[in-house]
Structures are given as structure tokens and as C-alpha cells.
Amino acid sequence: MKVFIENQANSNVKHFFDEKTLEPKGSCCVSRAYPFPYGFVLNTIAADGDNVDCFVLTTKNLLTGQIVECEPLALMEQIEDDQEDHKILAFIPSEEISFGENTKILLIEFVSHVFDHIPGKRIIAGIFHGREAALNYLRQHESQC
């Protein structure tokens, strides 16, 4: 799967792109720095109408606007303002990655507080599912374009 990187790790700048043309639309600051590169899976449509969101678990410095080939690793349930907004967790095939409790805690902490600057914004991090659930989720949300 190909992942378009919107936001670099260790940055609190959130970029917005047209997810079909990949043209930049703007940016803003968020309350927490992204713990991993974050973007979306190309050629997908999630329940919220956007592409399926994705964290790439890597130590590589992936840049905003970069497209990277990844493999799905897990699915993180998330509800944002009462709407499903699950995240794919992915890795770069050539890399060894660690996906344990510390990574899960880091992701939960991030999503729970990234929008603290927006009054009334509610995000609930749910449970983590394995690779098979991530693959099924991606299949269910493939774009028919």
C-alpha cells in the first residue's frame, strides 16, 4: 500500500492536502507533536469520507508530501466526535520495527491530546487489532475509482 505523508514525526504542524490531487491546502499547529510520520493510504475512502488515516511506525525521517510503500501492521480503533476514524499502523518492509505496549501508550496519549487546543473536540482511542484486521479494514475501504 502507498501512504502519502501529511505530517512529519516530531512536528506539531498539521498539514492539509486535497486527498485526491495531493495539492496542499494549508496548515495549522496542533497541541502535540506527531510521534510518527502520519498521513493517509492512497486509493481508499474511510467512513468519514477522507482517505484511511495511517501512522508509519519508523525511525526514518519521512517528509511531508513524500509517498512511501508500506505494509499494514495493525488497526487502532478511534472515535472522533462520535464518528469512526480508525487508524492503520504500518511499517516500511525493509525496517525492523518494535510494536509493543510503549508504542500503544504513545499513540493513545497523542490522539487523546493532539486537539486539546480545540474546545469540545473529543477523541476516544479504542483497542488495537492485528494485521488481519488492518488488511480487512483496507479491503473494505478501497476506492472504486
Residue 145's pLDDT band, with cuts at 50, 70 and 90, is low
Task: Give yes or no for a contact between 126 and 84, defined as CB atoms under 8 angstroms apart.
Answer: no
Q: Name the domain count of the chain.
A: 1
CATH number at residue 64: 3.90.80.10
Confidence (pTM):
0.94
State which residues form the domain around 128: 2-140
Residue entry with cell 491530546:
113
26: left (phi over 0), alpha (psi -120 to 50) or beta: left
Rounded Cα gap, residues 22 and 109, in angstroms: 28
pLDDT over threshold 80, residue 144: no
| Segment 119-142, tens digit of pLDDT | 999 998 989 999 999 999 999 999
Indicate whether 31 belongs to any domain: yes
| Segment 25-78, tens digit of pLDDT | 999 999 999 999 999 999 999 988 899 999 999 999 999 999 999 999 999 999
Indicate whether 62 belongs to any domain: yes
Indicate whether 99 belongs to any domain: yes
Indicate whether 145 belongs to any domain: no
Indicate whether 70 belongs to any domain: yes
Indicate whether 32 belongs to any domain: yes
Indicate whether 128 belongs to any domain: yes
